[in-house]
Amino acid sequence: MAQEELLNAGLRGLSDALAEKRVSSVELTRLCLDRIARLNPTLNAFVTTDPEKSLAMARDADARRAAGESGPLLGIPMAHKDIFCTDGWRTTCGSRMLANFVSPYDAHVVTRLKAAGMPMLGKLNMDEFAMGSSNETSHFGPVRNPWDPGRVPGGSSGGSAAAVAARLAPAATGTDTGGSIRQPAALCGLSGLKPTYGVCSRYGMIAFASSLDQAGPMAPSAEDCAWLLTAMAGFDSRDSTSLERPAEDYARDLEKPLAGLRIGLPREFFGPGMDADVRAAVEAALDEFRRQGATTVEVGLPNSGLSVPAYYVIAPAEASSNLSRFDGVRYGHRAAEYADLMDMYCKSRAEGFGAEVKRRILIGTYVLSHGYYDAYYLQAQKIRRLIAADFTEAFRACDVIMGPTSPSVAFPFGAKSADPVQMYLSDIYTIAVNLAGLPGMSIPCGFGAGGMPVGLQLVGDYFSEAKMLNVAHRYQQATDWHRRVPALAA
């Protein structure tokens, strides 16, 4: 197969090519590694690569196929967000605190994708400890959007989004705490899925906010995401939040027609705050669904406007607890000079954490402190319950909820970094989904100002990933937005 054909084949096309011996895993992996070497200096999507290890994994995949083993993902290379522990590979979480940490074990998601036979291309850049919406907080420098290197790729899974959009990797893992898969997928023009909380194990995924974090796939198409989620999902007894459910084939319903589908349009998502170019692309996408037999109905999510303040109480509170383990004692950065143990704690954390992480630790510690817990943290948890109840009520009237993923297309570097509140509002449409623990995904639905991608968000009821993927896939069969590639990657 020609290189360009391979790069845009999707997981199904790559799987067929490998099965028919038109390409080997080693050849495919080497093609990706060559592109990483050529384009990563511009994009800064990868923070760690090890071609020797990657090619060894590819040779193993080829040997498995030669021995008669088959599998839809066997031999297709991918990359992991640097929040996932990977045995023998550096795992930094985008922070100076873990800049030289080499994990002694694999995250459960990594183990499952290894078992499926996917060689690892490397580790992907991200906002420090997954705290950010633009990938500007990474200790290793910002990731650049391949559609316009002067703009952000979204965050915190910005490295994953940029790598897949630029075809440095056929697919990648991401994590979503308040929109960190869906928002960068929207800003970089690809498909990204956050499953129902508990579907993918959090074991080996460095914790930010434990009641919100969830792993998910990022790839060009919904079909690709279905294949990846089928491999990633599964019960893990090491994670107390992992759900023990029967295994699912998330691609099983992809071809079902959409006639009779009820699409809920939250009035709160279509009010002021959405840019006109985003609105136009989303409305055009809804017209396509109507052409395929779906109907739209207005629904209400009256407490969704409180999702950002509730999130920025709950998430920092959990982060302040989770990040207390990084104290310079056991692993991670330790200050070179200190007077005593307390001085070592203070200097190690001051040097190891960046400004955004420090800000959230301080907020979290404050809202959990004596006299403020009831006023802030407890109230935020009550709002969280109301937000979840709003979604439950909305799903009585519809099968899937749709709206914009982000209120704007990708913005230039520095446009919001001086104003944390404006940055936080970038996730205004995505955060409520995490607070409720629901599945959500973003798919490309057009282009806006500056020729930048626009994302359409789909939200499903609990455990309705297969339905969401069906809806997204049928849209992508009728459109080609997900096949568009930035000029830089052509």
**Local structure of 215: helix, strand or coil:** strand
Question: Residues with catalytic annotation?
Answer: 81, 156, 180
**Distance between CA atoms of 286 and 298, rounded to whole angstroms?**
13
pLDDT at residue number 264: 98
**Distance between CA atoms of 206 and 167, rounded to whole angstroms?**
26
Q: What is the mean pLDDT of residues 320-335?
A: 95
| Both tokens assigned to 185 | 């997928």
pLDDT by residue (tens digit) across 101-130?
999 999 999 999 999 999 999 999 999 999
Residue type, 127: D
pLDDT at residue number 169: 98
DSSP letters of 293-314?
A: T-EEEEE--TTGGGHHHHHHHH
Task: Return the axis-axis angle of helices 25-43 and 158-165, rounded to nearest 10°.
Answer: 120
Q: Is the dihedral of CA 353, 79, 209, 424 positive or negative?
A: positive
What is the pairing mode between strands 440-447 and 295-299?
Answer: unpaired
| Both tokens assigned to 376 | 């802030």
Share of the chain above pLDDT 70, in %: 100
| Both tokens assigned to 137 | 């907080």
DSSP letters of 46-74?
A: EEE--HHHHHHHHHHHHHHHHTT---TTT
- Does 29 have pLDDT greater than 90? yes
Q: How confident is the model at residue 464 (pLDDT cuts 50, 70, 90)?
A: very high
**Distance between CA atoms of 84 and 202, rounded to whole angstroms?**
9
Q: How far is CA 481 from the centre of its chain?
A: 19
| Both tokens assigned to 183 | 């928002």
For each of the domains in the chain, give its residue range(s) and CATH number, in order of start. 3-261+397-489 (3.90.1300.10)
pLDDT at residue number 424: 81
pLDDT by residue (tens digit) across 138-186?
999 999 999 999 999 999 999 999 999 999 999 999 999 999 999 999 9
- Does 232 have pLDDT greater than 80? yes
Predicted TM-score (pTM) of the model is 0.97
Q: How confident is the model at residue 1 (pLDDT cuts 50, 70, 90)?
A: low
Q: What is the mean pLDDT of residues 55-61?
A: 98
Classify residue 487 by its DSSP letter.
G
- Nearest partner of 418 among 481, 356, 337, judged by Cα: 356
**Distance between CA atoms of 325 and 323, rounded to whole angstroms?**
5
| Both tokens assigned to 66 | 């030669």
What length is written for the chain?
Answer: 490
Q: What is the mean pLDDT of residues 323-331?
A: 94
Q: What is the mean pLDDT of residues 58-74?
A: 97
